Structure 1
Amino acid sequence: MKVFLACLVTLGTFLTETTFAQVQCAVDVQINEGDAITMCETSPTTISGTNGFVNYAWTGPETQVSQTITPNFSGQYVLSALDGTGCVSTDTIIVTIVSIPTETIISSEGNPICSGAGTTLSLPNSYTTYNWTGGVTTPTFFASGPGTYDVTYADDNGCSGSSSITLTEAQFTLTGSESSLCTGGAITLTASGGTSYVWSTGETSSTIVVNPSNTTLYSVVISSGSCSQTLSTTVEPGEQQTSSLPDTLYVGAGDAQYVAGPEGFQSYVWSPTDQINNPFGSGVTFIGTTSQTLVVEATHADGCVITDSVVMIVVDLTIPNGFSPNSDGKNDLFRIPELDQYPGALSVWNRWGDLVLDDPSYKNTWDGTCQTSACLGSGDLPQGTYFYQVDVEGITFTGYITLKR
């Protein structure tokens, strides 16, 4: 090979020449691997020049001052070599570096796979050789169940790669949990393990809320890839959490009446607070002189809030000490004004202890006549003093009344 010989030649990271002359080196350098080589990216090959030269320098995609080089890039590499006479010769080689991608193993049945079924594993690209788990050397591999499967593959250049897949088995489940007590005992049904869900109700989410009035069978078709399974459950009708407060309670003026709130709640707030002992108790003691509506707000641990109320009627009767049933239009009836608002029973006895009136639902209509079998004559009671008892929802008032004609 003819080269230019310089009067001043420096071989290193670069070549400097000042005067050139075309000469023929006695021996030309040669690259031992020839004029072209293909190598694998994962296991590059070291290329080298022939022995017997003073200095070597590689140029091309990368540079290096040495007799050998391990290429990292594809392209044309040039080796320059300086012999003992100062003659420089060169040789070239085309380097091709082959990279093999990390393949994603394909499962014909998807992943997860169906319970009790297998799947065929393969690679998206073709290779010359394969080595699957267990020594199987075919392009495809049948996996009989869940587990981890490996494959090593190589192309016709001998470049190899490896991949792995962990197969799981589809686990489809259907569970139910009670919702908030405030929702009437509704049940939340949750299906899991799939990518799509179709309920007997027509809904397609993984979770539905049901509150049947009768015992009802609910089913769901759960699917994942080619796997599907129908699961079902029976739901009994639930009962909504309600308060146990009565509509109305009667209490004597200044008497104590305990009122219990709904059971099973975490906190309570009662209002108004002016006639109760503890506005934050599960129950309160009412002592009052004025009727009012007592309201409780009960909060459950799950966040449910129930509000209920009870009308507290303070019974404080205005009972006259006498009346004059003489048909003059004035004070002819024994009248207790409060009994126009709520029910009461009235019983009256004469001084000998005979029952002359027994009205379980007194409406302020007694006109001084005897209304029992204990009386004789016309029915008009004589003037005198009579003993009475008034009962309003268990609250009793007793005393004497004077009847005048």
Structure 2
Amino acid sequence: MGTKPSLAALVLLSTPLFGQNLVVNPSFEITTTNCGSFGGEGFFTDLTGSWDNASNNALGDSCSSPDLFSACNIFATGVPNSLLGFQYARTGTRYAGIITHEVLDQYREYIQGRTVTPLVAGQTYCVSMYVSKADGVPFATNNIGIRFSSTQFLRDPCPGQNNSLIDLPPDLNYACAAIIDTVDWVRLQWDYQAVGGESFFTIGNFFNNANTIIQNVGGNFLNPFAYYFIDDVSIVPNSCCYADLTGTLTYCLNDGATDLGAVGGIGANCSNAVQGTWSGPGITDPAQGTFDPAVAGVGTHAVTFSMDCGFSATLQLTVGPCVGLAVCADPVTGALTVSNGVAPYTWQEEVQVQDCSACLFGCIIPPGCAVMVPAWSTFANGASIPAPSDFPIQVVDGVGTVLTLTDPGSIPSCTPCPAITVNVTDRTNVLCFGDATGSATVSATGGAGSPSYVWSPIGVNGPTATSLAAGSYSVTATDENGCTGQVAVTITGPAAPLNITVVDVTGATCAGGDGTSTISISGGTQAYAVEWSPSGATGTMATGLDAGVQTVFVTDANGCTAEVEVNVPSLDGPVLLEISSTASACAPPDGTITVLATGTGLEYALDGGPFQASELFIGVAGGMHTVAVQDANGCTITATVFVDAPIGPDPVISGSPFACAGDEVVLSTTEAFASYRWSTGAGTDQVVVVQSTFVTVTVTDADGCVGTSAPFAVQFEEPLAAFTTTPASPQPPGTTVVFEDASTISAGTLIGWSWDLGVIGGTAGTPDVSWTYDEPGQYTVTLVVQSTNGCVDTVSAIYVIGSLDISIPNVFTPNNDGKNDAFVIENIEFFPNELTIYNRWGAVIYSKKDYRNQWKGSDLSDGTYFYVLRLLDGREFTGHVTLLR
């Protein structure tokens, strides 16, 4: 909840009847720390010497503890936001607060003040204070009173509750209705005749709950008590003669007349009504306080309220023209100047402030209740200010007229603008309706610097705008000082789209070349070029047209095009009324087709054959047929008709679909027929197949109807067994030999393998097998393979395991008699080696790596030769050999 200062705060008082306020620190503005202490200010710690809680206990006890609310307090007792509600100080930035009622007990709080000098016996004093109910509590009361004493009044309020009540009669007391105002400050006042010597006074509720009016105003039962803020306590000599003035302080010249108000205090009396006279410019009813802005005129006027008791106060009322403020900017410095209003002028910027209106306690309960909201904060006063650094800002004149500025670029210059002329220097109009092919260029003269251009309503910037549709545009040119000039630009175009309307169509006979059509053209730009396709005609009328679709193309003077299709119907021709048929046998065909048609010189044809005069076709086979009817003009109409016939046979071939190569497969049909023709050429009821193929049979049943079977696949499987050995034969004992399947099959799949490796236990049923041969010998290895359908094939091979010893001869006879023609080293094939042969002079005559008995001593003479044989296992053999022819 918010509040605004009472208008009485703006009153100029002229009351010589009142003397000095005798209350020490009457508005709680004088504090010990003056906001210099961390955490803020407190009632006990900062009002020492001027105010206390009428308690004789230790400083700061909580048995009866009033509060000091201050703008420098952060949380519970802050101003204007606190745990107990929202309120600004009536004057200054501080006020006090007390509890006047608590639920379930008699708990009370009091504040005790003191006077500058003791009161004088017999003297009448006006005693007053301002109170406002805290809006964060649910209860309101009356019984806010004052008790005077010549010495400081002290009592023991502990332990609180009922003990805190001062059960003594007050000297002054407000006993009217409970005070419920949480927005404004309510003035309580009394006339008090002093006994003499009074130097202290205590403020609070001196009555128990039974004698107090307690009103439940609802809301916030977390604070189950009645709580009042107190400010501006006053004790001045003389009877009370005072009024707070209320009413609007600013007006527009055309506002209607309104009544000003004056209210006094309540206390001894429950009514705050006062009597007085209003005077000053614009007052048209002095008793009622009626103020008429039109009578007062523009300006600031002092209006005075006077009472018979001698009190008078003045309101400063401002009347403005309210015609709208104007702000301009200095083109060099950017400084702003406002005019058209009534001084004083206030400049404000937008800031973020905390809004606690949704909170129950201060600004923290419930959590998140406080939010930041935008507000306006004054940063300058006067008619002119330096160039602002941020926007938005607003300026308010003396009567409250507001002008908000958001864009500095929109503020006009304070320098008078010259005439700026904008001319259209180039223009291209739209050629075809609806297109955006227009463009225009403008140029401005007469302004300062290089102007900027804005096209409206399209928002284009710059002197040239393209892709314009036909229509009107406004271009604004702005110079460097913000001065502007405008020009209207009109882009023309066709008023309507190019349109073709088919006016008339006459159909063509089947002879062709005698159809006609007429069109009309509108819109676009005349003249028009017309072309008919495919006839090639020009102009709006075409003749000699064949039946079918003609496309008409029209091009106007600007090259815009349109087209339309014209359907030229076919006239006359024969009319087919009915086609009937009778069923046919399979052989010979004997079905009939009869045609019923109307026309001149009709002839009939069947399935594309020659035309005949008769409408009856005989000997027609079963099936779908096409009938054509042609008249004397050559016009033809066709239709289809179905001739029923017996269903032909559907032979099914039976027999084995699989066989092994070399076997025979006998095929036949599942039922007997009158005749057969097999795809193999046979004409019997069975056929023998000896190779893979697809077989069909065409049969004729007893009715002569023919049918052909679906293809029957016969597959002959021919496995070919084969294998490889690693390493290759021969090998020495101890060699592990790997036998791998290399078999193939012409069709089908191999599914079985049977190995016999030529030794006991040397069998296997897998595609590949290995075996280690430890003994020399010749081993017969056999592989049998089998296909999916049981076809088999067998292959065998000899694998040789030789001796471990080598034997080197000492003589050989290369005479080509087939005996001992080479230098043969027995078993050398089992040993990786290198052989070198030398003559008797030590020259190498033969060298071979991995020698395999190839040397025959060709071209060498008889004699003795020497050899060196090195084996891979490290052994070396040397010796001589004799060559004899």
Instruction: Specify the TM-score bucket, using the shorter chain as the normaliser.
Output: 0.3 to 0.5
Q: Provide TM-score, normalisation by structure 2.
A: 0.20
Q: Provide TM-score, normalisation by structure 1.
A: 0.39
